[in-house]
Structure 1
């Protein structure tokens, strides 16, 4: 039996060395040359017969530049072009691509975005501190006023009215205003509650006020006028021009309602509607002496709302003449 020699397993041959960097660069240049000659590529890369002509044309191009390119490099370049090597293919659109693009281009848009962000923060801060917080403080203050301040103020003004008069009419009016003001405050109607408080304050001032009503009797000023009413052109209304004077000799503003248009205003001087006989008496007296002997025609006392008249009056008045 013949001896058999044991053989060692065959070893793999050495790996093919990687192409030199300059050859790779040269192949890339060949591809770039082909890519920039698009019409030449379309015309020449259509068959093996024309590959040869293409290679020859490329050799002529490089020879004109003083560059000698081996055939295998030209073959590699043509093959690389056909295989789309050394060609950048953009990443398809996606959310991740958009984020990456934003990050890469941040130097271009980051400054503008930063300025816009700062402006937005400043605007937001201005609104927060300049509009929102003051409005919130006002709202809280109004709620506090409705819960505590207005009810106390209403009660205080009501008590001042009661202390100023013993007459039932102003006392009843004060009680009504107090009830309405409390109800408005309880319902959150700040405007209505304040209006009732103002009415109570005005009522108290009217009760505390004390003055005389006198006929105006100064040189250059009228003491009386007459009017033809619109409702009755055949009639005449007669008015004495009067003024309210306080205990200190100064004019006092009093609420007067015009019977001509229903307007109410606080004035110191107005036309008091009187009967024709009273108007004529005052007129004749002023014509005789140039003066009015007793110009006081009414007295408003503290604690009362109505004026006590010493002459006949109709209860009407005018604000303009």
Structure 2
């Protein structure tokens, strides 16, 4: 123990060691200095202990050598300092788990379910719905043009589903449903003849200021006189809408006949201009018309 104390004394006197411990000739002066140090403390140190202390210092027998860096040393350091960083790490881990769980259950899992549902819809749902709707169309009408239109929409819808274009496939399905509804409708088209409402109008085409287009304002009604909404496309701007009233383009002669009829007594004697039967796609007109229409007047 005394030898260890000697080494410790030498280690804390670094300047003394550097100056005195440089060879055998100076060891005596170093040992003398050590004797003086211990003498001031009232400790008598034997000569062999001084020799052992000097030798031990040279050999670094009592020197501390840190463990070299390694994975095991890092783990031990972390464990020893866990009280300092453990709470913060636990909080960070909890926050990470909370965020990860929110992302998984709130975003990733719903997105995966939506992807699987969309894939199933594209592979079986939409093609099956398209074919089923085609059968409903064929059951509602025997018109060759309706069959041809239904076949076209089914082919385009199935091609869109195979390409992954679900929106296009759904659009074709909606058109099939509209075709079936159009074929199932039955209504009468008659000229509007009420106080304060026009029964006909004429327009000057923008591309031909010298011409005039004549229209009868008509409405679709069922057998009880209730309005029926039908799809109509304006020939002026191509806008398509579902309406119960529109302007039907007729010849100037037909327009003049209706005008004179209404001027005679304020009543149109023959208001019915067309009949749409269930199973047909378009009305059968009783007036001379091109079938063109306008939506605003």
Q: TM-score, with normalisation over the residues of structure 2?
A: 0.76
Q: Does 1:319 align with 2:282?
A: no
**Does the CA contact (< 8 Å) of 2:249 and 2:292 recur in 1?**
yes
Q: Supply the distance in 2 between the matched residues of 1:294 and 1:317 (Cα, whole angstroms).
A: 20
Root-mean-square deviation (Å): 3.7
Match of 2:141 in 1: 165
**Does the CA contact (< 8 Å) of 2:134 and 2:154 recur in 1?**
yes
Give the superposition deviation at 1:105: 4.0
Q: Does 1:238 align with 2:235?
A: no
**Alignment CA distance shift 1:99-1:267 (3 Å):** same
The 3-state SS of whatever aligns with 1:314 is strand
Match of 1:68 in 2: 43
Q: Supply the distance in 1 between the matched residues of 2:264 and 2:3 (Cα, whole angstroms).
A: 134
Match of 1:45 in 2: 21
Give the superposition deviation at 1:198: 2.6
Q: Does 1:210 align with 2:186?
A: yes
Q: TM-score, with normalisation over the residues of structure 1?
A: 0.72
Q: Supply the distance in 2 between the matched residues of 1:286 and 1:35 (Cα, whole angstroms).
A: 128
Give the superposition deviation at 1:168: 1.8
Match of 2:241 in 1: 265
Q: Supply the distance in 1 between the matched residues of 2:224 and 2:53 (Cα, whole angstroms).
A: 118
After superposition, the C-alpha distances for 1:110-156 in whole angstroms (9 at most, x for unaligned) are 44444444444444444444444444444444555455544543343
Select the residue among 278, 282, 286 that pairs with 1:310: 286
Give the superposition deviation at 1:204: 0.9
The 3-state SS of whatever aligns with 1:315 is strand
Q: Supply the distance in 1 between the matched residues of 2:5 and 2:243 (Cα, whole angstroms).
A: 104
**Alignment CA distance shift 1:36-1:251 (3 Å):** farther
Q: Does 1:198 align with 2:174?
A: yes
Structure 1: runs of 5 or more not aligned: 1-23
Q: Does 1:81 align with 2:57?
A: yes
Structure 2: runs of 5 or more not aligned: none
Aligned residues: 296
Match of 1:19 in 2: none
**Does the CA contact (< 8 Å) of 2:122 and 2:161 recur in 1?**
yes
Q: Does 1:229 align with 2:205?
A: yes
Q: Supply the distance in 2 between the matched residues of 1:296 and 1:282 (Cα, whole angstroms).
A: 11
Within a 5 Å distance, the mapping from 1:165-184 to structure 2 comes to 165-181=141-157
After superposition, the C-alpha distances for 1:43-88 in whole angstroms (9 at most, x for unaligned) are 3333455545545555555566x45251544444443333223322
Q: Supply the distance in 2 between the matched residues of 1:291 and 1:81 (Cα, whole angstroms).
A: 131
Give the superposition deviation at 1:289: 5.5
Match of 1:17 in 2: none
Within a 5 Å distance, the mapping from 1:120-199 to structure 2 comes to 120-145=96-121, 148-181=124-157, 190-199=166-175
Q: Supply the distance in 2 between the matched residues of 1:71 and 1:220 (Cα, whole angstroms).
A: 135
Please say which structure displays the higher CA radius of gyration. 1
The 3-state SS of whatever aligns with 1:163 is helix
